[in-house]
Amino acid sequence: MLAFHRTAIFEAFMSPGAPTPTKVLAARLAFFFGLWLMIAGWTAKDLPVGLVTAGGAVWISLRLLPPGHAQPRLAPLAALVLRFLRGSIFAGFDVARRALSPRLDLNPGFVACPLTLPSGESRNAFCLYQSLQPGTLPTGAEGGTLQVHALDRSQPVAANLAADEALFKKATGYE
């Protein structure tokens, strides 16, 4: 029995290609159990409760979000996270500067940005990611165009969104 688990775990994490059910299950269980340990602590008496809770969270996550076709890539994902953090910091300071300025330096409006992601989960995930950026907010998509509300239309909103989309596609394996 132990040999089977070692083989299954090894195959789940080392096999190339599409995510197997074992790989998805193991990754989600590790994520939710790690989250439990961060919240509840590392005491031995809480580990069984954490495992049961993580198992329940995995079951719910599989029901609400079945495994998709995305194959995250570590290096582009790290680059996307760093770009997000850098963009959030710079945009946050820009929004604060504009809000505290005696003369409002705003040029609000909508910018039509072309999208190459197909409609569905990947586009929704990208719009969710974009909605976290200060100073811009995706408001709707029609066809291959995303309408973005921006505090300053003179900024390169469409170019930044295109760069974010390209990196997002690389990070999630949708290119």
- In the chain, domain spans: 2-64, 74-172
Indicate the length of the chain as a whole number. 175
**How many Cα atoms sit within 13 Å of 114 on the Cβ side?**
3
Q: What percent of the chain has pLDDT over 70?
A: 87
Which residue has better confidence, 17 or 30? 30
Predicted TM-score (pTM) of this structure: 0.65
Exposed (0-12), middle (13-18) or buried (19+): which is 148, by Cβ within 10 Å? buried
Span 117-132, average pLDDT:
88
Torsion of CA 66, 68, 74, 78, to 10 degrees: -80
The confidence band for 1, taking pLDDT boundaries of 50, 70 and 90, is very low
